[in-house]
Amino acid sequence: MTEHGQPAAAIVVEGLQKVYPGTGGRAAKHALKGVNLTIPRGSIFGLLGPNGAGKSTLINILAGLVTKSAGTARVWDIDIDEAPRAARAAIGVVPQELTLDPYFPAQAALELQAGLFGIPKAARRTDELLEVLGLADKATAPARSLSGGMRRRLMVGKALVHSPPVLVLDEPTAGVDVALRQQLWDYVRLLNRQGTTVLLTTHYLQEAEALCDQIAVLADGQVVAHDTTDALFRRVEDQELVVDVSPPVSALPDALGAFSPVLASPTRLVFRYGQASGNVDGMLAAIRAAGLRITGVTTKQPDLENVFLQLVQGSASDREGATN
């Protein structure tokens, strides 16, 4: 614990494994293969990966819904095996599926959830949550009458009734329109500013790029990358420098050979490089050394989708090489 009685890390998993036994002649499935992950307190942490990577299995273990096969996991410095009830009280989970009783009014759903956590009536935040989630005017409306976006917000409210220090959002904006997605993003940022640690899984890479301080990428039950969002970008060979030159050239000058640019047109050179390995000054100097005048320069940064694809594809190639 820190000097203020709060842990430095909101979640710590070490050597976490999950094996689902085979049935009906099928082989056992190794969903998690020794996952090590530390999620700092106060962060918005992105967990990305293709379908079947193990994201939901990891979340369900932390939430006490799935029993791990090996390893350790701590939520808010509470071991999920040694004190399972306390660990579950430290985490709120918004699952992908909308698990709502269609006939329960929104207010009653939050009250019931608070009762399940043993929260006294005087300490409940039902009206406050309905207000901040934009559901105050739907307090007595049954869940079946709410739109998909409203139901998603109600699920967020259910996860927050016990004021957990850690909030897990598993695909929170799936099927939600752009305007509502932005509202949810704003609310997540507000919760984070108020001290809540947020673990976010999403297929919307723009969402992770906009929100997350750090990102871990899971592939085939293993962490294949874990870094700050900016650092992940720097690892990818997808930077692009486009230089317009004069006079026109019909072939690449020898002075540029070390940088292997593409001659996109007689007056345009395209250089591709990684942030860590790029030498933009050297490229521009080589252009001048070739007797060319620079008439325009533009750059292109990779987006998170390219980063994600390269990391996952690189991991798959490594695993293939290891088995050959």
- Contact in structure between 209 and 225 (CB atoms under 8 Å): no
Query: pLDDT tens digit string along 68-118?
Result: 999 999 999 999 999 999 999 999 999 888 888 899 999 999 999 999 999
Range(s) within the chain of domains with CATH label 3.40.50.300:
1-90+164-233
pLDDT at 230: 80
Nearest CA to 101 among 158, 59, 62, 56?
Answer: 158
* Angle, helix 106-116 to helix 148-160, in steps of 10 degrees: 30
Sequential pLDDT tens for the chain (324 residues)? 555 678 999 999 999 999 999 887 788 899 999 999 999 999 999 998 888 889 999 999 999 999 999 999 999 999 999 999 999 999 999 988 888 889 999 999 999 999 999 999 999 999 999 998 889 999 999 999 998 888 888 999 999 999 999 999 998 877 677 777 888 888 889 999 999 999 999 877 778 888 999 999 898 899 988 999 888 766 665 678 899 999 999 999 999 988 889 999 999 999 887 655 568 889 999 999 999 999 999 987 666 666 677 777 765 555 555 545
Angle of CA points 143, 160, 59, to nearest 5°: 95
Longest dimension (CA), the chain: 79
How far is residue 16 from each of residues 19, 154, 223, 302, measured CA to CA in Å? 10, 31, 11, 32
Q: How far apart are CA 93 and CA 130, in angstroms?
A: 17
Tokens 């990818």 — which residue?
236
Could you tell me how many residues make up the chain? Answer: 324
Label residue 313 exposed, middle or buried (CB < 10 Å: 0-12, 13-18, 19+).
exposed
Q: How far apart are CA 148 and CA 174, in angstroms?
A: 10
- pTM of the shown model: 0.76
pLDDT of residue 212: 93
**pLDDT at residue 314, as a whole number:** 61
CATH class of 237-300: alpha beta
> pLDDT value at position 179?
77
> How far is Cα 21 from Cα 119, in angstroms, rounded to an integer?
38
Q: Which residues in the chain are classed under CATH 3.30.70.100?
A: 237-300
Q: How far is the CA of 87 from the CAs of 40, 84, 323, in angstroms?
A: 17, 5, 38
**Amino acid identity, position 106:** A
The pLDDT score that the predictor gives to residue 84 is: 95
Provide the pLDDT for residue 273: 77
HEC string for 258-280: HHCCEEEECCEEEEEECCCCCCH
- Residue 49's pLDDT is 85
Could you tell me the CATH superfamily of domain 1-90+164-233?
P-loop containing nucleotide triphosphate hydrolases (3.40.50.300)
